[in-house]
């Protein structure tokens, strides 16, 4: 049949579906813009055998908050764009 997927198309669809799920989870996790913000973290005690990260102080970040907010909006838009692109690719399979 013409409608049957090839094995390659099937694997492509699975891969796209996993990416779509991952992006959707991230989008859901950061959905509340009032409670989430783009920020830097730094590693502490890299020699202790465990990776410990902590956010950079708000005081230090204040000087670039407008830049971070602008890039946060860009990243959110890129996530939406990729979700739309993947959804279209899946539909075309």
The model's pLDDT over 53-91, given as tens digits with 9 standing for 90+, comes to 899 999 999 999 999 999 999 999 999 999 999 999 999
In angstroms, what is the C-alpha Rg of the chain?
A: 19
| pLDDT band per the 50, 70, 90 thresholds, residue 1 | very low
pTM of the model: 0.80
Closest to 77 in 3D by CA, of 21, 19, 35, 33: 33
Say which residue the tokens 């049957």 belong to. 4
Asked if residues 56 and 41 have their Cβ atoms less than 8 Å apart, the reply is yes
Q: Phi/psi class of residue 45: alpha, beta or left (left: φ > 0; alpha: ψ in -120 to 50)? A: left
């Amino acid at each position: 049949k013409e409608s049957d997927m090839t094995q390659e198309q099937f694997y492509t669809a699975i891969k796209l579906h996993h990416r779509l799920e991952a992006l959707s989870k991230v989008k859901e996790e950061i959905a509340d813009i009032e409670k989430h913000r783009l920020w830097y973290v730094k590693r502490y005690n890299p020699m202790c055998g465990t990776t410990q990260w902590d956010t950079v102080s708000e005081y230090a970040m204040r000087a670039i908050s407008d830049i971070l907010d602008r890039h946060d909006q860009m990243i959110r838009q890129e996530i939406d764009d990729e979700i739309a692109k993947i959804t279209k690719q899946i539909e075309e399979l």
